[in-house]
Structure 1
Amino acid sequence: MRSKIFNILKSININAYYQECTNKTDEYVVYSIYQEKDTEVAENISNATMYYITINYFYKKGNRLLADKDRYKEIKKVMKSNGFKFDGCVDLIGETHLGKNMDFKVKIWNED
């Protein structure tokens, strides 16, 4: 799942990091899986897994070009087009960057 999310974000040319950022550029994303649950359980056998993902999009304070682009909407759109359901977002405020925290969920059916 981690590499799937990374590749989706890479497809829109944004630097993505799993759990923590090692190189804070003008814009970047930090993502993580905050919950993973068995679902579609029958006779104690899980037929699918539900993943809950958080994506934190950051852009440098004072960068009006990035602020005006609403790039988080592009992230939201590409995640939804790849089967993720949008579950809400909130603003983020840091010392050097602003951004959005977006939550998604996706059900993946287990292979036999």
Structure 2
Amino acid sequence: MRRLRVAELQDFLQAHAQQQPVLLDVREPWELERAALRLPGTRALDIPMGELTSRLNELPDDAPIVCLCHHGVRSAHVAAYLAHHGFDEVWDVIGGIDAWSLEMDRSLPRY
């Protein structure tokens, strides 16, 4: 599994813009209501970790998938799962949305 620091995320997304990367947020709906990350040049897809196995068909197999959660634990599990199930370009965001809030956008609420 490949990992990205939040400071690398925007550059990564920009470098892969032609492939239309997917920002896969695996948090629960109540978490998304508190703090959602929407970045230009990405397709945002919100699938809670517990629903992933039944919703795999929603994921593209021809674009990078960048997994995100609160602190990076769930997204790391999801990224490993996807890689194990044949998705080639899967990345995990280290520290999750909390790290994004601390390092990149302090206006994004922490919880």
TM-score (normalised: structure 2): 0.30
Higher helix share: 2
Higher strand share: 1
Q: Looking at both structures, which has the greater relative contact order when contacts are Cα pairs under 8 Å and sequence separation is at least 6?
A: 2
Q: Which has the larger radius of gyration?
A: 1
